[in-house]
Amino acid sequence: MPELSLEALEKRREALETRIILACKACQRPRESVTLIWVSKFHPITSVENAIQLGAKEFGENRVQEAIEKFSTPRAGIHCHIIGPIQANKLRKAASVADSIHSIASLDAIHKLESICAETGKILDILIQVNTSEEDTKSGITMSETESFLLSLPEAPHLRYRGLMTIGKNTGRAEDSRAGFCFLREMRDKMHASGGLFENFSELSMGMTEDLEVAIEEGATLIRVGTALFGERARLI
Ligand SMILES: *Cc1c(COP(=O)(O)O)cnc(C)c1O
């Protein structure tokens, strides 16, 4: 994987920023209502350092081990988001490195994370992943079980339920993801309005390189972008 120079990364960032600004304008949302997560998976630490030089603060990794390698030494103001499925035996490591985990899809993981965070006193942001594409290869709870799953979430003093995450459809047509994104927004709205456990349930993590415009139109607050920033990955995940 050829490494991206700072200049090359800056150009790609500017092109992406233009896309984000246009998408926000098109639906009259303020640019600040969308946070860019730089998905640095499979890219070297030097790319992360270049991104930080360009002002990046939020990074996404989908494998715990890689997140540990790049982000276990805390840097002021830099946050690590885990966006990939986590095996039960890696939850402790995930909780140690992450500020936020977007890929939670079981009560078991919730209970384990709460007890891990209770030991260390950490407060962890949690997003629930929904499989809106209904493709078997994707993780997440199904759309039909989403509401009952959310209503069954336990009170967890060390976890903050922040919202919902999904991965769009992998068809090459961004429009195909719209219905799933819309479902996510409506579910977020419903839960957020109910308050209580959901008082912080304001985030919608959706939109990647191919479909971020549709995601922004449908209300994404966190977009997770890898390829548009760092280029192609050696392995596709
Ligand atoms: C890799 C990945 C991304 C970034 O995808 P790009 O298409 O490269 O922008 C976003 N979200 C998840 C969950 C990922 O695994």
For the chain, which residues make up each domain, given as ranges? 6-229
User: Which class does domain 6-229 fall in?
Assistant: alpha beta
CA 206 to ligand 1 center in whole angstroms: 10
What H or E segment, with its residue span, contains residue 10? helix 6-26
Tens of pLDDT, residue by residue over 173-201, are 999 999 999 999 999 999 999 999 999 99
What number does the ligand 1 atom closest to the CA of 165 have? 13
Residue 13, ligand 1, Cβ within 6 A: no
Nearest to 83 by CA among 18, 164, 24: 164
Residue 208, ligand 1, Cβ within 6 A: yes
Pocket residue to mutate for ligand 1, from 47, 131, 208, 214, most atoms within 8 A of Cβ? 208
For 13, residues 6+ apart whose C-beta sits below 8 A from its C-beta are 51, 54, 229
CA 236 to ligand 1 center in whole angstroms: 9
Residue 132 pLDDT > 60, yes or no? yes
Task: Read off the pTM.
Answer: 0.96
Q: What is the rounded distance in angstroms from the CA atom of residue 7 to the CA atom of residue 141?
A: 40
Residue 106, ligand 1, Cβ within 6 A: no
CA 218 to ligand 1 center in whole angstroms: 18
Tens of pLDDT, residue by residue over 42-76, are 999 999 999 999 999 999 999 999 999 999 999 99
What number does the ligand 1 atom closest to the CA of 208 have? 9
